[in-house]
Amino acid sequence: MSCFIPWRPGKTERSSRGAYDVPDMEARHQMALYRLAMLLAESPSDLPPAARACHETPRINQTLPVGDGAALLKRRPDVREAERKLAVATAQIGVATAALYPSVTIGASAGLTGVLEDMGRQATQRWGFGPLVSWNFPVNGQRERVREAQAGTDASLAHFDGVVLNALRETQTNLATYSADYQRLESLQDAQKSATKAADETHRFYVAGRESFLSDLDATRTLVAMNAQVAAASGQVAVDQVNLFLALGGGWEKPSGQTVGINVSQIDTRVTKR
């Protein structure tokens, strides 16, 4: 006597796929929570319950607001830092140049002059008032200090230009990546619709006896693979949006409540030569 156990490849495939993917997804979910806790300066145990219960990819329901190109660059902290350093270096030229001029101070003196027994009387009192002039001549290195300040300004300007170029590179790169990944997601979503329709029709034909089980299994496998690709592409688009936020520097709040959509032509790729 023998016992026949039917083999169900579809169920076996789904079980093995889940056994392989779930631990990796759980580990990445934990890593994302740790990173979120670091950004919020909190311990992972203090994160809001909504963060741990989130099981969907975050989505933006409106156009990404950026503003004009000049404001785009000024929002970045590294550009602000380089701009302030350039302003400080430029001010040092004025300080060094001012040291070339004479320093004039107005002073006064008062005292008592006379014999000891007349001290404190009006006859022994004296006072004086007049300018006290001091001059730092160029031989003391003041002109060299001016040249040093000018060289420091040139170095700060070069650093500022480098920071601006790097900001433009990051912004343009993230815009291009986001645009390409978003188009890929739309294409995958169209393919997902076709795969869903094909899987439904193949399953109906299989139930009616017009298609084999292998055909039904192959259509289901194609749909599952397409769903996985769409989920991965959706997650990549969300990552691209976060990277774009970082590249733009944030700070999109406007008093009027209006927003301006992304336009690549708004980004000026030229660095003004000073």
| Distance from C-alpha of 8 to C-alpha of 15, rounded to nearest angstrom | 11
Hey, what are 201's tokens?
């029709």
Hey, what are 246's tokens?
């970082």
Q: Is residue 184 part of a domain?
A: yes
Domain span holding position 110: 101-135
Is the domain of 182 the same as that of 120? no
| Distance from C-alpha of 177 to C-alpha of 192, rounded to nearest angstrom | 22
Q: What is the block-wise mean pLDDT of the chain (274 residues), using blocks of 10 residues?
A: 47 55 82 85 84 74 62 82 92 84 61 55 57 53 82 92 90 90 93 94 90 89 92 89 82 48 40 38
Q: What is the pLDDT of residue 209?
A: 87
Q: Is residue 114 part of a domain?
A: yes
Is the domain of 76 the same as that of 196? yes
Is the domain of 81 the same as that of 108? no
CATH code of 162's domain: 1.20.1600.10
Is the domain of 219 the same as that of 244? yes
Q: What is the pLDDT of residue 140?
A: 63
User: What angle in degrees, to the nearest 10, is found between the helix axes of 9-39 and 213-248?
Assistant: 10
Give me the number of domains the chain comprises: 2
Express each pLDDT in 5-20 by its tens digit. 444 554 555 555 556 7
Q: Is residue 246 part of a domain?
A: yes
Q: Is residue 255 part of a domain?
A: yes
Which pTM does this prediction carry?
A: 0.64
Is the domain of 83 the same as that of 218? yes
Q: Is residue 12 part of a domain?
A: no
Is the domain of 125 the same as that of 205? no
Is the domain of 131 the same as that of 146? no
Q: What is the pLDDT of residue 51?
A: 80
